[in-house]
Amino acid sequence: MSASVGLAGLGALSFARLAAAAGSRRKFTLDLRCGAIGVGADLRKSIEYAHQFGFESVEPPGAVAGLAQAELDEVLAEMKARNLVWGAAGLAVDFRGDEAKFQAGMKSFPQQAAGLRKAGVTRMGTWLSPSSNERTYVANFRQHARRLREVCKVLGDHGLRFGMEYVGPKTSWTKGRYPFIHTMAETKDLIAEIGTGNAGFVLDSWHWYTAGESVQDLLSLKGSDVVACDLNDAPAGIPVDEQMDNSRELPAATGVIDLEGFLGAMITIGYDGPVRAEPFNQPLNRMDDLDALKATAAAMRKAFAMVQ
């Protein structure tokens, strides 16, 4: 059997794991988002925590766009000294509400995008609400495409990429009267409709799992299609269609989600952005900040070790 035939015969899961085992190196970073793990910290404290607990990148808060040059220079020098880079910023424009709110947010958005780019930020992301009580799927799709196209055009003018996170749990997309985007395939449709060339995914292992998707789905992407990644596990003993979005586990806590396959696929496609935990986990949120940071860093390293 030829090598090409042998590889073609492998399942997608085996291919992702084989690529990782064969010596492919990860390009993605161990990223810290303090707010996602219940840790309160400003920018300087986040940088300090990231260095202390061995993270490689840190979320840029929106406020970094408004820093005076002297303070920005200090922040960037501190990050360089600690071998840290930026992760992905969050979108501050309200694109889910009424038109007046959206347009008001867009007025100041070019200035924010310029400030972020000046600080060296190149990635921004948001999440997509998986249902609506007011708009049918088609009406909602048209509104999302129009509004997020405006967002992407501004970001593109300043050299930033934009990622969108679909929300996978059935318990989420069945809440509203009209289900909306909740799978990778549907998000691909939205990216194509936006059509600006700088739109892509925020991939979350949790939503990938709850959407019933496979490693083969991940391997259908290019590294440049992915703007940011969230890494989570799921509670054990709960059927996938009954999983609740606000009750997750730290990476590699239960083994319910195939993080080896997920991360192996990210290595295979050459993804080079931030990977961060977003567990929405009450026991973690009840910890003091240092314990939460220690637990998160350990969980992330355990998951990364599966593919290193």
173 burial (CB, 10 Å; 0-12 / 13-18 / 19+) is buried
Q: Look at residue 178 in the predicted model and tell me its pLDDT.
A: 99
Question: pLDDT by residue (tens digit) across 156-215?
Answer: 999 999 999 999 999 999 999 999 999 999 999 999 999 999 999 999 999 999 999 999
Q: Please name the residue ranges forming H helices in 158-258.
A: 170-173, 184-194, 205-210, 215-219
Please report which confidence band the pLDDT of residue 6 belongs to, taking 50, 70 and 90 as the band edges: very low
**Interatomic CA distance for residues 51 and 72, integer angstroms:** 18
pLDDT, mean of residues 285-290: 96
Asked if 74 and 44 count as a contact pair (C-beta separation under 8 A), the reply is no
Query: pLDDT tier at 22 (50, 70, 90 boundaries)?
Result: low
Question: For the residues 8-13, what does the mean pLDDT come to?
Answer: 46
With pLDDT > 90 as the criterion, what percentage of the chain qualifies? 92
> What confidence category does residue 17 fall into, taking pLDDT thresholds of 50, 70 and 90?
low
Mean pLDDT calculated for residue range 136-150: 99
What is the per-residue pLDDT for 24? Answer: 78
Tokens coding 145? 């495409």
Average pLDDT, the chain: 94
Is the predicted pLDDT of residue 61 greater than 80, yes or no?
yes
pLDDT higher than 90, residue 130: yes
**What is the pLDDT at residue 4?**
35
Whole-number pLDDT of residue 39 = 97
Domain formed by 14-305, architecture: Alpha-Beta Barrel (3.20)
Q: Which pLDDT score is estimated for 23?
A: 60
CA 222/CA 270 separation, integer angstroms = 7
Residue ranges covered by each domain of the chain:
14-305
Kindly report the pTM of this predicted structure. 0.93
Q: What percent of the chain has pLDDT over 70?
A: 93
**Cα angle 93-98-104, degrees, rounded to a multiple of 5:** 45
CA dist., res. 41 & res. 49, Å (int): 9
Q: How confident is the model at residue 16 (pLDDT cuts 50, 70, 90)?
A: low
Considering only CA atoms, which of 101, 118, 120, 110 is closest in space to residue 151?
Answer: 110
pLDDT digits 0-9 by tens, 24-59: 799 999 999 999 999 999 999 999 999 999 999 999
Q: What is the pLDDT of residue 8?
A: 40
Task: Collapse the DSSP code of 258 into the 3-class scheme (helix H, G, I; strand E, B; otherwise coil) and give the result.
Answer: coil
The strand ranges marked E within 84-134 are 85-86, 89-90, 123-127, 131-132
Beta strands 178-179; 131-132: pairing state: antiparallel
pLDDT of residue 18: 53
Distances (CA, A) of 249 to 102, 154, 244: 34, 36, 11
| pLDDT class of 109 with cuts at 50, 70, 90 | very high
151, 95 Cβ separation under 8 angstroms: yes
Q: In the prediction, which pLDDT does 308 show? A: 87
User: pLDDT value at position 10?
Assistant: 47
pLDDT class for 229, splitting at 50, 70, 90? very high
Over residues 139-143, mean pLDDT: 99
